[in-house]
Structure 1
Amino acid sequence: MCLGLLAAGLTQAQGLDEQGLSLRPIRQLLPVARGLTRPAMVLSARQLSSHISQTSVAEGAAELRYGELLLSSDRISYDQVQDLARAQGQVELRHQGSLVRGPSLQLFVQRFEGEMLDPSYFFSQTGGSGHAKRIQFLDAQRVRAEAATYSSCPADESGQARAWELRMDSLSMDFENNEGLAKGAVLRFYGVPILAAPALSFPVGDQRKSGWLPPDINLDNRSGLELGLPYYWNIAPQRDATFLPFVMTRRGPGVDSEFRYLEPSHGGSINFAWLPHDREAGRQRWDLRLAGEGQLGAGLQFRLSSERVSDDEYWKDLPRRVNSLTKRLLATDLQLQRDFAYGWGEGQAYARVQRWQPLQGLDTLTRFEAPYQRSPQIGVRLNSQADDLVLAGYLPWGRRARLEGGLELEYNRFDLPAQALASQSQQTGERAHLLAHLSLPLGTAAWWLIPRLSLNAASYRVDQPLSNGARSIGRSIPTFSIDHGWVFERPTQLFGRSLTQTLEPRALYVNTPYRDQTAVPNFDAAAKDFNFDSIYAENPFSGVDRVADARQLTLGATSRWVDTGQGEELLRLGLVQRFLFRDQRITADGGEPAGQRFSDVLLLGSAHLSRAWWLDAAMQFNADNGRAVRSVLRTRYSPGPFRTLSAAYRLVSGQSEQIELGWQWPLWGTADAGRARSASSCQGAWYSAGRVQYSMRDKRLTDSVVGVEYDAGCWILRAGVERLSTGFAETNTRLMLQIELVGLSQLGSNALKVLRDNIPGYRPLSSDKLGRLEASYD
């Protein structure tokens, strides 16, 4: 290695200081000389003495720098023969972001071996610090401390104990293998022991590591108190598993498990929750979830998603373990697909099996008709180039007009799940259908015109006789449409800002002849939601089995105000209405023909006039009676981090009327106060967070969550109540309590996930804390 000796009192350096210039050494020296395999060493101080190739002594603000190592002290002596550095008085050792302080140090520099007595330390990888009787540096990646403590809370100058502290007989840190081992560990919270372990293993970075995780605690009105102790198994870099043995005071013991894998061509997970004997239900309970996707070779792709539970009441009794968005309708869906590309376009061949498990329950008033299953669905789709872009409303401007089209051929077998209602007498059978369209898009950047011809043809074979006594039927329905629109722009100003205002009128004409469909089975068709997207659709039904006879014209316009410099949309207003030239005989309820010539008017508005305020609204208005059929109004105010208020009003005339409030807001104290103060002072910041839904029609609270958070800087307390509706007069109420020890772990129920999933704009208080902890320790 090269050794450089610098004295701060040299005349040349003094001259530089007199001119207002100074040398500012970096903390890390890298090899820069050609052929140099090790970094140079630099020793600097107010006073230096050296015997060449033997011993050097630096006194007064002494510093020794070697690669990623920076050693500073009142006095440093370096034995070049042994490569041994001895430091005395206010010793600071920085290495790979970590900092150790103490009265004295002996260190073999190149091997990074040595020890320090009575040290204090800070680990940048975890944001925690502590004190020990002695610390040994085994090499550049391994450290061992005796009679050690660890906490992310800053030390109190008054000598009081930290808010939380982990005390250990010994602490070993292996940064290369991402492993920390504490022996004889006791976790204390405000001096009170709350957790003890003879040996505690934990990761020291973001990498995964096998070991026990913090306890999982839950409390609700159906299962009582639940206590679980999870174990994480890092099987391989691409596989891991988690096992969670638990016990419920009302239901008994059980286990949750999860296995995950990620191979080069496929990945997925398996989750299984098992309750061998539920004392409340008198039987075993389980939940099984499968998920996976990937490649099978030859361009074939697969996707699997499945969830099954043991009984119909599982979603009520154990809602945390049901992952489906539709809690009472669980799907098993397996899909295979292969994509093709040709010079004229692209194609797709696919096969699918879809099964359902409807959870009907014991309450007859809440039972529902189960949807059809597809066993199987097999088909092929072909699309010409850019056809998908045309359908999405985007045109590749500037090219010559050309015919574009698409074709879908598909076979389905429809049946009902075994758990379907006994009174459910729907048809089952087979369907083969053809969907085709041909269009000629024309336009420029300012306008478009798309004439389009479509065909919906289907043939059915059913298991039960149709209304006319036959077991097979077919029909073919063509549709002709013209979609035309313009985009006008002009410069304008609003609130002193330079904007571009657009006016975007659009007209859609559709003509579909009437075909009698009363005898045709309905396996997958349903009326689309009436909104700004569906009103511009050729067919008001989703699926294949129903095609409305339409001779209609849809007219609408949208105006947008866009910031000229940043491209941000500040304001949008829209209006659209449909006109029928004749009665529509194919309706959603299958009843009387729709003779109302003018449809309800759809109004749309959204505004973001300042950084803190958002507002959007939509309304379906009946001009005949002057009343709103449906309306949605949402607003959000977010002036800064951890400060957000939101409100929503939803109305469906004759069905529901609901108000929703969501928030995260300081109650008292400030975020900075909570982070900057010593945690033992109990003077952090209190926050409230929640989302409350209230049904004005039923005059009761529905799904809601309300909580409070206390940010003490190095630890965060979360407490709250979650209420889920499980019937007209039934609810599942869950109490949440969680303590997050920043830089260590979270104890209790997972309240953070509940708040994050339910509150619009919610931001975890623990975000960006490690940087603050490092700054406060420095």
Structure 2
Amino acid sequence: MTRACLLLLALSGAAAGAHAQAGAPAACRPGAPAWVREGGGLQLPWTGEAGGADAEQVQVEADRLSGQTGRSLLAEGRATLRRGVLSLQADRIEYLQDDDRVRASGSVRLDRDDGHFLGTELDLQTEHQEGYFLSPRFYLGRTQAGGRAERVDFIGRNRMVVRAAAYSSCDLVDGETPAWVLTTRRVRLDFDANEGVAEGAVLRFQGVPILALPVMSFPVTDARKSGWLPPMISTSSNSGLGLSAPYYWNIAPDQDMTLTPTLMSKRGAALETEYRYLQPGWSGEANLFALPKDLQTGQARWALRSAQRGSLDLAGGLRYDWSVLRASDGDYWKDGLRGAESLTPRLLSSSGRLGQTRLLRTGGWLGDVEQRFYARVQQWQLLQDSASGTRIATPYQRAPQVGVQWSDHGGALQWSLQTEANRFTNVDTTQIQGSRAHLLGQVALPLGDAGWRVTPKLSLNSASYQTDTPMSDGRRHASRTIPGFSLDSAWTLERETAGFGRALVQTLEPRLLYAITPWRDQSALPNFDSAALDFNATTVFSDNVFSGVDRVSDANQVTAGLTTRYLDRSSGAELARFGIAQRYLLRDQRITADGVPLSSRFSDVLLQASVGLVPSWTFDTSLQFNTDTDRLVRTITSVRWAPEPLHSIYLSHRLKRGASEQLALAWQWPLSDLASPLARLMGGSAAAAAARPSASPTGECRGRLYGVGGLDYSLQDRRMSSAILGLEYDAGCWIGRFAARRQSTSAQNASTQLMLQIEFVGLSRLSAGSNPLSLLKDNIPGYQMLRDPRGTAADNPGAP
């Protein structure tokens, strides 16, 4: 009865009076001067302006509770106060109910949202969370950092001012120097605006001041925020020592820009600008690297990359895209300057395209028809090596290309018809130039179900040419029409089996393709866009050995293949795949890539295998075997072992007989676990666990040093064609990255580049394109970031 009475007295005003009139003891009635209770807890509903049962409640617990009904409450000895996301612990807590204010002293701990504060004295209005905290140590979960200060002033739930602060994501231990610390006179934190502003800021790393600014701004959430990104130090044999300091400008929610001033000892001062924008219906990016005066050449050097894509609703769903990739000169690619990176660094493409796709409902026997209109202009810049006498043939440019294609839309009969006109030009005036109009058509009737399929198909390739100069036979106008027929059949057979301790499903998938194409003389016709297809498991089932339109190989051939797969019966995941395929010519093939007729009846045999049955291991191989010489013509083999995150080793071998032989090795592994690969292979999980570094007595993992790299070695030339070696150190509160790259630019020359970057966790964050991170991501198979873009630790057993 006494406890119930105390809880009722905690209610304010009329509520307490009503309970008193219901027969509560006189000592519990409103107006009693004070009450005292040992070892209990109270719940004080806050009514405020909202009032009612939905209001938040203040919960208080302590060894000793005393106070005056409806006015104040004093909690002493292991006192705790909770309200919503706010939790307070102290030796002494005084709660003033009229002002909704709490005062705490002694060993005070305040938890709110994902941050906590430890100090000696607190005065806080709990509803608006306004007040102050003296001599606190604090931790902010949003930035994964904290520190200590003389005073913290709370200005609402998401704003605060910290005075005389030391801020770091490292542990701040009295008498010890943290790895990095930012000391300030005053810091304003605004989580709604994603901004932290430090006044009188000095940044120290390993006790050494590396940056001092009167005012410094940094982000306090994962949202985008204008400010400086981690600087990068690099050195290159071509550019010398370089220092880059990227600045990120969050222009608007749909626009941002990164400005990277760079100083290179051998080249001079440069500026790289990356601008990105996103609008309803269209988006794009532009990147410009400008070197006003190259100290080596005395000339201005630059590279431009830009792209945009979008749609024009007023034009009936017309879509467009364009891209530009250009460099200032032909030697740009081998000088190691930024901004012109591409899969083929000496061949830079620029193009613009318009396209429209519409569904035509004919209502006739054709059913629904999909119509696709397109127009394109494509230009190439070929970066020739001025120091080499060998020149690369320049590809043709399309100026313009216009076409329209019709095809079935979900009908039983599969058909398509395409007509297109092109104007081909070339910067090399010795190459023949002209125009071409062509018509491509095909019709196929697939028969069968999921277990088998037979597809007869008719095709047509017709082209007409008009050239500016005479062709090899003296004509300026020519045309040709080439029909074709193929019959493709495939089956899928299944059976249940078991292996490696699993229930499996094995498939047997034979395939047979017959193709016949008559011979047409094409020797005098220009070749604007055709090239020989790579011979692999996909193209072996093609009825034409050329890409493009200008060349069509004659054929009377049969291609046979067999694939078997092993699937996990419960999940359907593919665990292994094995395949074999070969082509047989029923007559000589006269139109070939090298112009020499092919009389050998049997093609090379293609063998493929992909195995992932053993956990953490993947194995892939592709073999091309010549049955006439009994030799392997081409092989591509790779194996990867990844027993856990941030632990991977990749090895591959590539052979093209008579042309190249390449060996590649890539890895990412903690250096403290160097003994674990052998231990895991030889001793299993117990040995692997023993090889791992132990945790500290406090349970926090120590910082870990990771080795990462990739080597490409030419066995034919007996030289390293490319090498990347890197070290990454995750200290928990900071991450250091170092990478060295050596890249061959010719048979005799190579460039070397060194890069260094330090990230202060909780102060600055990595950008997606920053080096050396992008170098590792783009060139190391299976590479994983130590931490994700939000700055949190990766799924990494060694990360603190």
**Fold equivalence (TM over 0.5):** yes
Q: What is the aligned partner in structure 1 of residue 455 from structure 2?
A: 450
From 756, 760, 770, the counterpart of 2:777:
756
> How many angstroms does 1:35 deviate by?
6.0
Residue 650 of structure 1: how far off its partner (Å): 0.1
Q: Which residue does the alignment assign to 2:578?
A: 573
Deviations 1:515-556 (A, max 9, x none): 111111110011100001001111111000111110000011
The residue that corresponds to 1:734 in the other structure is 753
* Counterpart in the other structure of 2:246: 230
Amino acid at match of 2:780: I
Distance, in Å, in 2 between the alignment partners of 1:320 and 1:682 is 38
Q: Does 1:481 align with 2:505?
A: no
Aligned pair 1:126/2:143, yes or no? yes
The C-alpha deviation readout for 1:367-406, integer Å capped at 9, x for no partner, is 200111011010011110237xxxxxxxxxxxxxx42210
CA drift of 1:320 comes to 2.9
Report the CA distance shift for 1:741/1:306 in structure 2 as closer, same or farther (over 3 A): same
Q: Give the match's secondary structure for 2:784.
A: coil
The alignment status of 1:410 with 2:420, answered yes or no, reads yes
Superposition deviation, residue 212 in structure 1: 3.1
Partner Cα distance (2:63, 2:213) in 1: 49
Residue type matched to 1:260 in 2?
R
Asked whether the equivalents of residues 350 and 378 of structure 1 are also in contact (C-alpha less than 8 Å), the reply is yes
Task: Quickly say closer, same or farther: Cα 1:386–1:611, change in 2 above 3 A.
Answer: farther
1:684 corresponds to 2:703: yes
Task: Name the counterpart of 1:11.
Answer: none
Say if 2:42 and 2:60, in contact at 8 Å, map to a contact too: no
For 1:309, which of 320, 327, 330 is the aligned residue? 327
Query: Which amino acid in structure 2 is aligned with residue 167 of structure 1?
Result: T
Deviations 1:723-778 (A, max 9, x none): 122111111110122222222236997222211221111122234974699x99x9
In the alignment, does 2:747 pair up with 1:743? Answer: no
Work out whether 1:466 is the aligned partner of 2:482.
no
Q: What's 1:63 paired with?
A: 80
8 Å Cα contact 1:738/1:747 also seen in 2: no
- State yes or no: 1:292 paired with 2:296: no
What is the rounded CA distance, in whole Å, between the counterparts of 1:566 and 1:143 in structure 2? 52
CA displacement 1:231-270 (0-9 Å, x = unmatched): 2222211112222222211111121112211111111112
Deviations 1:412-439 (CA, angstroms, capped at 9, x unpaired): 111113xx4xxx6221110010110011
Q: Cα distance 1:675–1:720, how it changes in 2: closer, same or farther (>3 A)?
A: farther
How far apart, CA to CA, are the structure 1 residues paired with 2:204 and 2:310? 47
Q: Tell me the residue number matched to 1:199.
A: 215
- Superposed counterparts of 1:6-405, under 5 Å: 38-156=55-173, 159-297=175-313, 298-343=316-361, 344-386=368-410, 402-405=412-415
Q: What are the Cα deviations for residues 468-495 of structure 1, in whole angstroms up to 9, with x where unaligned?
A: 2110100000000000011111111112
Are the structure 2 counterparts of residues 182 and 669 from structure 1 closer, same or farther at C-alpha, using a change threshold of 3 Å? Answer: farther
Could you list the per-position Cα deviations for residues 205-229 of structure 1 after superposition, in whole angstroms to 9, with x for gaps in the alignment?
Answer: 1222223333332211111111233
Following the alignment from structure 1 to structure 2, what is the Cα–Cα distance between the partners of residues 63 and 512? Answer: 87
1:88, distance to aligned residue in structure 2 (A):
1.3
Match of 1:765 in 2: 786
The letter for the 2-side match of 1:755 is L
SS in 2 for 1:753: helix
The residue aligned with 1:711 is 730
- Return the letter of the residue paired with 1:701: M
1:563 corresponds in structure 2 to 568
| Deviation per residue, 1:606-657 (Å, 9 max, x gap) | 1001221100100110011100110011000111111100100000010000
How much does 1:677 deviate? 5.2
Question: Contact 2:397/2:424 (CA < 8 Å) preserved in 1?
Answer: yes
SS of structure 1 residue aligned to 2:177: coil
Aligned to 2:536: 531
* Per-residue deviation, 1:309: 1.1
1: CA distance, partners of 2:251 / 2:794:
34
Secondary structure of the structure 1 residue equivalent to 2:334: helix
Contact 2:251 2:257 (8 Å CA) reproduced: yes
Q: Is the 8 A contact 2:375 2:403 kept in 1?
A: yes
How high is the sequence identity, in percent, across the aligned residues? 46
**1:694-709 to 2 correspondences below 5 Å:** 694-709=713-728
Distance across 1 between alignment mates of 2:51 and 2:156:
27
Q: When the two structures are aligned, how many residues end up with a matched partner? A: 735
- Closer, same or farther in 2 for the Cα pair 1:437/1:706, shift >3 Å? same
Structure 2 residue identity aligned to 1:645: I
Looking at structure 2, the residues matched to 464 and 675 of structure 1 have their Cα atoms a distance apart, in angstroms, of 77
C-alpha contact (below 8 Å) 2:285/2:308 kept by paired residues: yes
Please tell me whether the aligned partners of residues 671 and 707 of structure 2 are also in contact (alpha carbons under 8 angstroms).
yes
Task: Give unmatched runs, 5+ long, in structure 1.
Answer: 8-22, 388-401
Q: Evaluate the alpha carbon distance shift between residue 769 and residue 544 of structure 1 in structure 2; reply closer, same or farther with a 3 A threshold.
A: closer
> How far apart, in 1, do the equivalents of 2:703 and 2:179 lie?
12
- What secondary structure is seen at the aligned counterpart in 1 of 2:293? strand
Residue equivalent to 1:510 = 515
Shift of 1:106: 0.4
Kindly report the root-mean-square deviation, in angstroms, between the aligned alpha carbons of the 2 structures: 2.9
- Cα distance, 1:228–1:688 mapped onto 2, change above 3 Å: closer
CA contact (8 A) 1:126 1:770 kept: no
Instruction: Provide the C-alpha distance between the structure 2 equivalents of 1:271 and 1:167, rounded to a whole number of angstroms.
Output: 36
- Mapped partners of 1:747, 1:678: distance in 2: 31
Aligned residue for 1:46, secondary structure, equals strand
Aligned to 1:396: none
Alpha-carbon shift at residue 38 of structure 1 (Å): 4.3
TM-superposed deviation, 1:46: 3.0
CA 1:34–1:653 in 2, change beyond 3 Å: closer, same or farther? farther
In 1, the alpha carbon distance for the partners of 2:383 and 2:99 equals 76
Partner residue, 2:679 = none
TM-score (norm 1): 0.90
1:24 and 1:627, CA in 2 relative to 1: closer, same or farther beyond 3 A?
A: farther
Instruction: Answer whether contact 1:429 1:462 (CA < 8 A) is retained.
Output: yes
Tell me how far 1:63 sits from its aligned partner.
2.1
1:392 aligns with none
Instruction: Supply the distance in 2 between the matched residues of 1:708 and 1:537 (Cα, whole angstroms).
Output: 46
- The amino acid that maps onto 2:494 is E
TM-score (norm 2): 0.87
CA distance in 2, matches of 1:770, 1:299: 42
Q: Is the 8 A contact 1:675 1:711 kept in 2?
A: no
Equivalent pair of 1:408/1:434 in contact (CA under 8 Å): yes
In 1, the alpha carbon distance for the partners of 2:664 and 2:745 equals 19
Mean Cα deviation higher: 195-204 or 53-62:
53-62
**Alpha-carbon distance between aligned partners in 2 of 1:273 and 1:678, rounded to the nearest angstrom:** 50
| Residue 17 (structure 2) aligns with | none
Give distance in 1, aligned partners of 2:746 and 2:224.
Answer: 41
